[in-house]
Amino acid sequence: MTEASTSLKPDAFKVACSSCNLRELCLPVGLDRPELDRLDTLVSTRRSVSRGDTLFRSGDHFESLYAVRTGFFKTCVSSEDGRDQVTGFQMAGELLGLDGISTDRHSCDAVALEDSQVCVIQYSQLEILSREFTHLQHQFHKIMSREIVRDHGVMLLLGSMRAEERLAAFLLNLTQRLQARGFSSSSLILRMTREEIGSYLGLKLETVSRTFSKFQEDGLLDVKQRQIRILNQDGLHQLVNGAGATC
């Protein structure tokens, strides 16, 4: 009932890392031909997740990692008393589920923000294969380490930035990742609500909305609901970094 519309059965058709156009962003970075062929045996199924459905939930048994193939996700943790916090947004080529390794259970929820597809990576198989291929082992470690570094950046944001700085940093991070995937660096459509942005940034949705409006007044952005056009990228950068540096 709770996962009524989630496709729990893997999709029938096969996919191959070796022919995937995300392979330069995803787990296979740096692998050579024979390694790629072996990886194909590991990443053999996809799973579709409809908008609003969960890929996994906190407490679920951990078995697989998931590479986003198409679509967009959020991950969120929640405390016992019901508070919850969006910990990240994931787009194509990014990995979901690393939190589960530590206790064999997931510690956060992963929710699709639009109809999405993920590649299912059996963790036990990944362990085996990464003992065989040093490149794969190293790449996997790098991905985990990168997640740690990213988290530290978010802590910096949450611990020491003001509302405008947080939103500017968020937008710049999003556009940078979109650009790496071949999208425009100046125009984007937000897949998440103001409330989800607020949760990620440690702000209330009203503050997010007001800050968008302020950016528009200041000529930094053009905001039409979830359609954002960046008019002055340098201006955003200065908000994040140059807050007091120009003195």
Partner DNA sequence: CGCGAGCTTGATGCCGATCAATGCATGTGG
Partner DNA sequence: CCACATGCATTGATCGGCATCAAGCTCGCG
What is the sign, positive or negative, of the torsion defined by CA atoms of 158, 163, 169, 174? positive
Chosen residue from 11, 14, 146, 184 binding a second copy by CB under 8 A: 146
What distance in Å separates the CA atoms of residue 22 and residue 63, rounded to the nearest whole number?
23
- 204 makes contact with DNA (CB under 7 A): yes
- 167 makes contact with DNA (CB under 7 A): no
Residues 183-242 that bind a second copy (CB under 8 A): 199-202, 240-242
Q: Round the CA-based radius of gyration of the chain to a whole number and report it.
A: 19
Structure tokens at 181: 């995937």
Sheet holding 54-56, edge to edge: 54-56, 109-112, 73-78, 84-90
**Are residues 219 and 231 in contact, defined by beta-carbon separation less than 8 angstroms?**
yes
Chosen residue from 1, 8, 12, 149 binding a second copy by CB under 8 A: 149
Task: Output the smallest distance, CB 35 to a second copy, in A.
Answer: 14
Chosen residue from 163, 180, 231, 243 binding DNA by CB under 7 A: 163
Q: Residue 226: which of a second copy, DNA, none does it interact with, CB under 5 to 8 A by kind?
A: DNA
**Are residues 31 and 135 in contact, defined by beta-carbon separation less than 8 angstroms?**
yes
Choose one: 40-48, 110-118, 137-145, 226-234; the region binding a second copy (CB under 8 A). 137-145
**Are residues 141 and 126 in contact, defined by beta-carbon separation less than 8 angstroms?**
no
Chosen residue from 22, 49, 92, 98 binding a second copy by CB under 8 A: 98
- 203 makes contact with DNA (CB under 7 A): yes
CA-nearest of 38, 227, 52, 225 to 126 is 38
Instruction: Summarize as ranges the residues that interact with a second copy (CB under 8 A).
Output: 77-85, 87, 98-103, 107-108, 127, 130-132, 134, 137-138, 141-142, 144-149, 151-156, 158-161, 199-202, 240-245
